[in-house]
Amino acid sequence: MAKQKKAPKPKALPPKGFRDYFGADVSERTEMLRQISDVYHLYGFEQLESSAVETVEALGKFLPDVDRPNEGVFAWQEDEDWLALRYDLTAPLARVYAQHRNDLPSPYRRFAMGPVWRNEKPGPGRFRQFYQCDADTVGSASMAADAEICAMLSDTLERVGIARGDYIIRVNNRKVLNGVMEVAGVLDPTDPEKFAAERGIVLRAIDKLDRFGLQGVRQLLGAGRKDDSGDFTDGAGLDDAQTEIVMGFMQALGATPAETLSNLRALVQGSAIGESGVDELQEISDLVTAQGYGTDRIMLDPSVVRGLGYYTGPVYEAELTFEIKDEKGRTRQFGSVAGGGRYDDLVKRFTGQEVPATGISIGVDRLLAALRMKGRVERSALGPVVITVMDRDRMSDYQAMATELRTAGIRAEVYLGNPKNFGNQLKYADNRNSPIAIIEGGEEKAAGIVQIKDLILGAKLAKDATLEEWKARPSQIEAPRGDLVAQVKQMLAAQGLTE
């Protein structure tokens, strides 16, 4: 009888395209989400938590650049239904609103935060699970709703630490682009499905302007483009005249909003949908200007199209304009951290009736990365006060200290490893980035005192202090046991860690 092979040990690795988030990462994200939700709440939006799993039918097929068999979602079959992890927070909102519309206020203003999943090819900084933070208004066709979303996004970026001048919110309108494509002969208002494939390629080509430049987009509008690796991407197959019309749209940005609008009106002349889109852009521009948001914060930009297929009108994108170094050491702008737009047909898929809606989505992980690069996030999150264990038989005494500190609102823990080596306990406190260590041995217990060790000051003094500084400000003090909480508070205040 053949000897049975042992099952191989599983690899201690996350799946490709996924990552783990430890304490500091989670704390930073939680704090940023709190700041964002404060702004959303200030604008009157209410929070919604929807299911992470939806039916594939409910989610719809709106993802851009999808070349995978399952259309870019993580999906599986259960009985006769296909289920999938949500790929964004907007498609689930459409289902929620359609289901509960009779019980919700109209317009319905909601915000949502949470992870989304996309079954796409991972790459540097591109993961298959990531956090989004959305705000949407459902049930209002007014351009005031779009203007408000843009203003709120501006306020949000500044609230979390992106300074004015380090970002710009660009606004465009899908109707204008549809008008341009109608004039170019790749959109037939009487047959929306005609030229659908070509329009999809045009949208994706324009969306890649920042990566490929005008020449690269021109190639994608025509026969296609070969990249540096030799891979060829099929183009939309437009002729030279059609291509020039679309390229004119991409270069319609003027020195002022009025000039941009004038250029766009000339491009879409004769197209009812295009002219309607320009009128909507005019209204949004007037509204944000009246609220005090100048072109240094919110501007019209015809190059913005957004990749998702459900947008029907205004679209917007928040771009960070400061420069960074990429993985190859090249200087480039940080790029987009948020985007959104109007999607008046999304709820209609469920109800058969058009329900106007507009919203924004912030890429939380990208925004956090930007804040770190600007030095707006403290990477080393502070750990708890660590109570060392000098006598394992007196664990109840040490736990009582921790309880007193926690009751006073001070984060604290008792060392639960092997207490035999005191040096290892202090190493543990250093690894936890703890500000203070509490020491109470048998002699201290008998004398009714505790030793309170300032680990932050101790590290600083050990690094560059003179003897006089050591004496003037010792890093370890002795205090009566009853003064433990007061002395810890005083030490934390000296470290600048309390208000």
- Domain identity same for 163 and 214: yes
398 within domain boundaries:
yes
Most confident of 59-73, 209-223, 320-334: 209-223
Q: In this structure, are residues 260 and 252 in contact, taking their beta carbons and an 8 Å threshold?
A: yes
The one-letter code for the residue type at 147 is: A
Domain limit, last residue, from 346, 373, 400:
373
Please give the average per-residue pLDDT across 234-245, as a whole number.
Answer: 86
229 within domain boundaries:
yes
Q: In this structure, are residues 23 and 381 in contact, taking their beta carbons and an 8 Å threshold?
A: yes
> Which residues, 6+ apart, have CB-to-CB distance to 322 below 8 Å?
166, 333, 334, 373, 374
Range of the domain at 399: 385-494
Sheet holding 412-414, edge to edge: 412-414, 385-387, 436-439, 449-454, 476-480
Concatenating the DSSP letter of every residue in 97-156 gives HHHHTTTS-SSEEEEEEEEEE--S--BTTB-SEEEEEEEEEES---HHHHHHHHHHHHHH
The tally of domains found in the chain comes to: 2
The mean pLDDT value of the chain amounts to: 87
- Domain identity same for 323 and 411: no
Confidence at 308, pLDDT banded by 50, 70, 90: low
- Domain identity same for 214 and 363: yes
pLDDT tens digit sequence for 131-170: 999 999 999 999 999 999 999 999 999 999 999 999 999 9
486 within domain boundaries:
yes
pLDDT tens digit sequence for 49-108: 999 999 988 888 766 544 444 568 888 888 888 899 999 999 899 999 999 999 999 999
The predicted pLDDT at position 66 comes to 45
- Domain identity same for 278 and 394: no
Please give the average per-residue pLDDT across 444-470, as a whole number.
Answer: 76
Please give the average per-residue pLDDT across 192-205, as a whole number.
Answer: 82
379 within domain boundaries:
no
Residue 3 has pLDDT above 70, yes or no: no
State the CATH number of the domain containing residue 164.
Answer: 3.30.930.10
231 within domain boundaries:
yes
280 within domain boundaries:
yes
State the CATH number of the domain containing residue 417.
Answer: 3.40.50.800
- Domain identity same for 168 and 226: yes
CA distances from 138 to 164, 344, 354 (A): 29, 9, 11
- Domain identity same for 117 and 246: yes
